[in-house]
Structure 1
């Protein structure tokens, strides 16, 4: 049996209102929370811990959240389906892992679209999710979004040679997370293969893959600095961490508990945004200290990559209802 970690475990004693006597102990609301990410992904994990602690505290122990991490229950590709079926009550989904099911979520990893994490935040505040993502998740997948926060930008990890131009992608096997990053790499001459982050280390070590676009957090959390030689910084995409709850479970909760969960989720979002900003400032130095050579893609080379991958964005727009409106918000919120 897989071992699970209970982040909170408390039962509140309910006091009889106006009776002056102690009522019987109230049975707590049990919520099962699954995430494929391990605790080593600190800027995601620590806000989750705080979220669970806040819900426990603000509900006076009426809510007990049991957290299973590191894919103990489901991996990243399985989380939405598991939540939709009600196999778990809550998940912290990664946007790209859902992109095959919901193409609109590819907005976050359209190639070279977002300038940085603050740009993503401005777009979210402008209503990026309200163009259909929130509604479709609720109506088609029984999933209610509680909050959304960022990963740090996707950069390029490679085993042997750095990525400095479009030509450097050609002939290499790339581990990808979703359909859109795979298409972009294909347009630049690479050979994409879908792969969860948990498999990257062995794939690099055995020479199965030549590179992968992943956040800096993935490289540290999965120790990719031990099996890669180069890191090329290009802000390829800015993925999201989507805190969600099963719709039927959500509808069964008392209104005051719903409000507690929403407020705690908002705090989680803000906490993760802050932690990502701090992490990015330190991460490059960490890679260099580990012996990885860090490269910054020059502006002209970056523009050539944008030009080469533009068809991926055009194809996406045709697939997604209100696709142009998503892009309008992204353009409007640029610096």
Structure 2
């Protein structure tokens, strides 16, 4: 019996020592993997469909933050409009209803007019130019304008270049728009549609297919990624590729919430956001090229405006530049000056 009790004691002691050893090892591993991060729960909302390349980027962003913090930072993601519509999201972000939100620059422009720069036609000519601009003074101005209303920009998510699809006729010059009804998404895009002689019709993204099918509208402007995802080829016959605008989505965080986060948490989020922004930008170019080919393969008649004809399209669009300058003031003028210099 004494031997049995002695054996039990030895086993118990060994177990306790092993447990202590495991705890020490777990602590070392936790510290190495980011256990030192303070616990936080961050709600992030966006409205893009799950198969969009920006959505993939956001999911990578979320996953890395949770992994690097060893789960201490919990990211609660509400995708595809589960929590907020795009119209409601900005107000919720400004008031702290959510901590993070990703929304289009077009929608932000109603609160921060300078964000309308991405809807000003023919400001950007290629993907690399966008990245260089956003990493320089151009991007700094936009970040500052957003901070003035209480939102810190974490990431610019490239959506891609905007094009025109329609079910009436090829659009090979601005004059070809005359008399058509084109779905629009904001003030400046509507100005452009009017400048080209058509009538803008405001319509949500989910309504466009039915609107084209029922001929409530004759055409729509969007990126080719959305055109493929929403099957525009089934309800339109013609596509004009003129890269007239470069659509952006903004990942922002409530400034007051951000200021209260520990410095190492801020650093982790910012570094991860920068990596994700670069991945999305690279992916955007691939997506634009692939989806354009898909639309061609599906039978859409595609007209790609030759480079030597773009000046005609730009000249007809100049009223939009003047409208933007009036709305965005000094910041808008500075952004246009930088864009023209570059």
Q: In 2, are the aligned partners of 1:165 and 1:302 still within 8 Å (CA)?
A: no
Could you tell me how far 1:54 is from its partner in structure 2?
0.7
1:122 equivalenced with 2:123 (yes/no): no
Structure 2: gaps of 5 or more residues: 1-22, 29-34
Partner of 1:98: 108
| Residue in structure 2 matched with residue 247 of structure 1 by the alignment | 255
Note the alpha carbon deviations across 1:153-174, whole angstroms, 9 max, x for none.
Answer: 0001112212111111111111
Matched residue, 1:5:
none
Question: Does structure 1 conserve the Cα–Cα contact (< 8 Å) formed by 2:37 and 2:264?
Answer: no
Moved more, 111-120 or 262-271: 111-120
Q: Which has the higher helix share?
A: 2
Question: CA shift at 1:32, angstroms?
Answer: 1.1
Partner of 1:6 in structure 2?
Answer: none
Cα displacement (A) at 1:278: 1.5
Partner of 1:318: 326
Separation in 1, partners of 2:202, 2:139: 25
Structure 1 residue 65 corresponds to structure 2 residue 79: no
Note if contact 1:197-1:218 (Cα within 8 Å) is conserved in structure 2: no
> Helix, strand or coil: the match of 1:121?
helix
SS of residue in 1 equivalent to 2:340: helix
Query: How many positions carry a matched residue from both structures?
Result: 312
C-alpha contact (below 8 Å) 1:162/1:231 kept by paired residues? yes
Q: What is the CA–CA distance in structure 2 between the aligned matches of 1:73 and 1:201, rounded to whole Å?
A: 24
Q: 1:164 aligns with which of 172, 186, 193?
A: 172
Q: Please, which of 129, 145, 153 is the counterpart of residue 145 of structure 1? A: 153
* Distance (Å, rounded) in 1 between the aligned partners of 2:68 and 2:37: 15
1:281 to 264, 289, 305: 289
Specify the alignment match of 1:36 in structure 2. Answer: 47
What is the TM-score when the length of structure 1 is the normalising length? 0.87
Instruction: Give the superposition deviation at 1:318.
Output: 3.0
C-alpha deviation, 1:106, in angstroms: 1.2
Is 2:244 aligned against 1:236? yes
Find the structure with the greater CA-based Rg: 2
Relative to the length of structure 2, the TM-score reads: 0.85
Counterpart contact for 1:31–1:90, Cα < 8 Å: yes
Q: Which residue of 2 aligns with 1:193?
A: 201
> 1: distance between equivalents of 2:81 and 2:340?
36
Name structure 1 gaps, 5 residues minimum.
1-12, 18-23
